[in-house]
Chains A and B, each alone.
Chain A
C-alpha cells in the first residue's frame, strides 16, 4: 500500500515536471478570472510565486501526502511567506487560500491527459492530489490567521503602552488621563505606572482623569478604587476628575461607594484642589498690577 501511494505521488511529481509550463499558464489565467487582485499585487509577483510553488511541490511530492514531513518544509515556509505577504497586502482569507486551491483545475487537466486510458488510476491520482492541495490550502489559511492574530496582538500592546501616560502637572502633582475602557490588564499597567511615577517624582497628589472612559461599571469602579487605595498606602492623595453627569448617575444607581475618594467634575477643579493641598495659589499678574495701581491711586486721593 505504501509503495503504491509512493508511486502515485511520484507520478504526481512527474506530471508536474512534465506539464509545468501548461499548468503554470493555465493557473495564472484561472486566478485572473477568479480572485486576481491586481489592485493589491503585481503580476510579476504572482507569477514568481506560482512558479516557485510548482517547483517546490514537484520536489516535495515524492515524499508522500503528509505535509508535515520534512520534505515539505521549504514548501511550508514558502506558503508562510505568501500568506504573511497577503495578510499585509489586505487579502481576505478566502483569496489567500484560493491561491493554492486554484491550482487544482490545471493540475487535474494534466492528470486527466496523463491517465486518459485508465479511469481508476486517474481517480486515485486525482484523490491524492486533492487531498494534498486541500491540506496545503488549509495550512495557508492557518498561517494567514496566525499572521493576523500577531498583528492584533501587537496593536493591543501598542495601545496599552500608548494609553497610559502619566503627566506631571506641577511639582508634586501628577495627572493620569485615562482613555478607553478599563479592564483588569490595563488597570494593572495603569496602576503600576502611576505608582512608579509617584515614587520617581515624589508627588503627594495624583489626579486620575476619567473623561475618556466611556462607561464606568462596578468592575471599572473597583479598579479605580484599587488604584486610589494603593496610592494612599504609599502616602499620596488621589483625586478622581472628569466624572460626567451620566457617569455620576450610573455610579449612584449601581450603589458604588466612592465616599472615601475625592471626586471632581473637571480636571481643572481637581488641579486647583491639588494646588490648594500643596499650599499653592494662582495669581493673575496683571490683575495684581491693576489692584496695586488702584490702591496707589486711592492713596494719592
Chain B
C-alpha cells in the first residue's frame, strides 16, 4: 500500500502529499503523523499540498483534524501551497478550516513555523530567552 512519507527536519516534520489523497491514505497519514510527533517530540508540522488537485469534504475535514491533533500534541501545523481550485472548493463546501495556519509556499511556511515556535518558547519560559 502506498504511504505518504514524513520527513524529519530539525524539530519540524515535513509532509508532502504528492499523490491524490483517498480516504484510507488520509486516515493512515493521520495515524503515522500523530505517532511520529509523539516519538520525535516535534514542535512543528509542515504539510505541503501543492500537488493536491482534488479535495472533497472528507479530505478537507482530515486536514483540519490533523492540524487540531498536532496542536494537542504541542506541534504547530502549517498547510502550504494550496491550489486556487482547492481553496475555492473548500470554501464552497463551507470548510474555512479555522485554526489552521496557511502559507503560500514551503519557504513562507517554514518561516511561519519558526516564528510561532519561538513565540511559544518565549511564552513558556518567559523573557529569559
Contacts and interface: CB of A to CB of B under 8 A. Distances in A.
Given A229-B96, A233-B82, A234-B102, A192 B87 contact: no
A232 to B, nearest CB: 6
Q: What class of interface size applies to chain A in its complex with B?
A: 10 to 19
Nearest to B78: A235
A269 B84 CA distance: 27
A183 to B, nearest CB: 16
B56 to A, nearest CB: 15
A291 B84 CA distance: 47
A166 B27 CA distance: 39
A195 B109 CA distance: 18
Interface stretch (A43-51, A196-204, A212-220): A196-204
A107 interface: no
B84 A229 contact: no
Nearest to B82: A234
B105 interface: yes
Contacts of A204: 104, 108
A56 interface: no
Interface of B: 79-84, 86-88, 90-92, 96-97, 102-105, 108-109
Interface of A: 188, 191-192, 195-196, 198-199, 202-204, 226, 229-236
Given A233-B79, A236-B104, 20 more contacts: A188-B88, A192-B84, A192-B88, A199-B83, A199-B84, A204-B104, A204-B108, A230-B88, A230-B90, A230-B91, A231-B87, A233-B82, A233-B86, A233-B90, A233-B97, A233-B102, A234-B82, A234-B84, A235-B105, A235-B108
